[in-house]
Amino acid sequence: MKGKRILLGVTGSISAYKSALLIRLLVKAGAEVQVVMTESAKEFITPLTLATLSKRPALSTFVSDQNGSWNNHVDLGLWADVLVIAPASAHTLARCAHGLCDDLLSAVYLSAKCPVFFAPAMDLDMYRHPTTVENLQRLESFGNHIIHAEHGELASGLVGEGRLAEPETIVQTLYRHFAFRPALAGKPVLITAGPTQEPIDPVRYISNHSTGKMGYAIAQAFARAGADVTLVSGPTALPLPDPFVRRVNVRSASEMYEATAAAFPSAAVTILNAAVADYTPAHPADRKIKKQEATFALELTKTTDIAATLGLQKRTDQLMMGFALETNDELANALKKLRAKNLDWIVLNSLRDSGAGFGHDTNKITVIDKDEQTHEFALKSKDDVAEDLLDLVEAELNKQPAG
């Protein structure tokens, strides 16, 4: 989203107040926002509010009231990377659908060469009316995108479809638009993330310091690129990384194996980022263990090696990426994993690298591919690391024969 130029059309709807939050989210994401308002939109939110948030004058007329300068609708249409009309009233939908051009916003729409998104907002009977339905279909037939209204309580007091999609939803839609990669479109991608917890008794467990941040960043990147993402997640406090991610919550290593093995056969790409316990208590107690003896011995048994097991099942049309967090002999240990587990890539983290590993918002990785070529990356945010991994996978997918 950084540096993207977004024209935001605001029309006469009670939902216009949400445009302020939408602008705030877009600017925070690094986008440049230029507001174009209809005259009726000013009845619901002031141009000053939108201008302050966007850091640009909110335009509504062909000629500026302040200095008489010309607000060129053609230049505006050419400037934008995307035009978003949110909220889009029934009146504006009808004008755009039928090419009426009697104000600045409709002129900008007709001039725009960029993708256009309409986010309708109105009362439920207006939204369901055959005229509105036909106008939305007509706009979509022109190649425009519709961010459909949501179900909920409306300004009229009725409950139903018609309320403007939440600003966060609109922003996510734009993220996916800009991040879309044809090679990933519809590809089933399986990702594991987070720690596992191995029960000692009903109160205690064995675990590790994984927060899930890296795996969740990867899931978000692939979902925004257009992949069909299944995220098998150990316990973490992180929210769903993207509304289009299917999350399967697990706790123990055995649960993670079962969920991953079930999804693996249909996955085109599998990324095993979770920090899975290597050992689990052999005999978990069914009651809380009381503190009595001075020493306490715990018998552990090996868990299923998920990467090795899936590596034996991997087909030639499947890609698999594993992770190795090492504290010593990093490259040697990573290469050993790459070969033994039939991986296409191994992503190496070293706990000796400052800012890398568990808990950080940054990471520093070295990726070794199946040809044992090494790709080194600088320390960067985990979101940016996820994009680097996405680049590697996309390049490999592009080598595969079509179909």
Rounded Cα distance, 394 and 403, in Å: 16
CATH number, domain with residue 58: 3.40.50.1950
Q: For residue 74, what pLDDT is reported?
A: 83
Name the token pair of 152. Answer: 């909920």
Residue 208 annotated in active site: yes
Name the token pair of 171. Answer: 């922003």
Domain boundary at 153, 178, 203, which? 178
Average confidence (pLDDT) over 238-246: 93
Q: Residue 40 carries which DSSP code?
A: G
Task: Identify which of 41, 50, 38 has the alpha carbon closest to the alpha carbon of residue 16.
Answer: 41
Q: Which residues are annotated as a binding site for CTP?
A: 278, 288, 323, 337, 341
- Both 133 and 246 in one domain: the answer is no
Domain boundary at 161, 178, 195, which? 178
Structural domain contains residue 402: no
Task: Identify which of 242, 148, 172 has the alpha carbon closest to the alpha carbon of residue 25.
Answer: 172
Tens of pLDDT, residue by residue over 265-323, are: 999 999 999 999 999 999 999 999 998 888 889 999 999 999 999 999 999 999 999 99
* Phi, psi at 30, each rounded to 5°: 100, 5
- Both 66 and 164 in one domain: the answer is yes
Q: CA angle, corner 180, sides to 179 and 183, nearest 5? A: 130
- Both 311 and 239 in one domain: the answer is yes
Q: Which residues are annotated as a binding site?
A: 278, 288, 323, 337, 341
Domains contained in the chain, number: 2
Q: Is the separation of the CB atoms in 271 and 189 below 8 Å?
A: yes
Q: Is the separation of the CB atoms in 9 and 86 below 8 Å?
A: yes
pLDDT at 403 over 60: no
- Both 319 and 192 in one domain: the answer is yes
Name the token pair of 45. Answer: 């939110």
- Both 111 and 187 in one domain: the answer is no
Question: What pTM, to 2 d.p., does this model score?
Answer: 0.84
- Both 282 and 367 in one domain: the answer is yes
Name the token pair of 319. Answer: 């890609």
Structural domain contains residue 161: yes
Buried b or exposed e, range 25-62, using 16+ CB within 10 angstroms: bbbeeebbbbbbbbebbbebbebebbbebbeebbbbee
Tens of pLDDT, residue by residue over 65-119, are: 666 677 788 889 899 999 999 999 999 999 999 999 989 999 999 999 999 999 9
Tens of pLDDT, residue by residue over 127-146, are: 999 999 999 999 999 999 99
Catalytic residue among 71, 72, 208, 333: 208
Residue 395 amino acid letter: A
- Both 90 and 211 in one domain: the answer is no
Confidence of residue 325 (pLDDT cuts 50, 70, 90): confident
Place of tokens 């399967």: 248
Structural domain contains residue 367: yes
**Sheet (strand 5-10) strand order:** 32-37, 5-10, 82-88, 116-120, 145-146
Structural domain contains residue 45: yes
Domain ranges, residue 245 = 181-287+295-397
- Both 170 and 193 in one domain: the answer is no
Q: Is 346 helix (H, G, I), strand (E, B) or coil?
A: strand
Rounded Cα distance, 385 and 323, in Å: 13
For residue 394, give the H/E element and its range: helix 382-399
Name the token pair of 16. Answer: 């216009």
Q: For residue 349, what pLDDT is reported?
A: 85
Ramachandran class of 116: left when φ > 0, alpha when ψ lies in -120 to 50, beta otherwise:
beta
pLDDT at 157 over 90: no
- Give the CB-side neighbour count of residue 348, counting CA atoms within 13 A: 27
- Both 317 and 252 in one domain: the answer is yes
For residue 171, give the H/E element and its range: helix 167-179
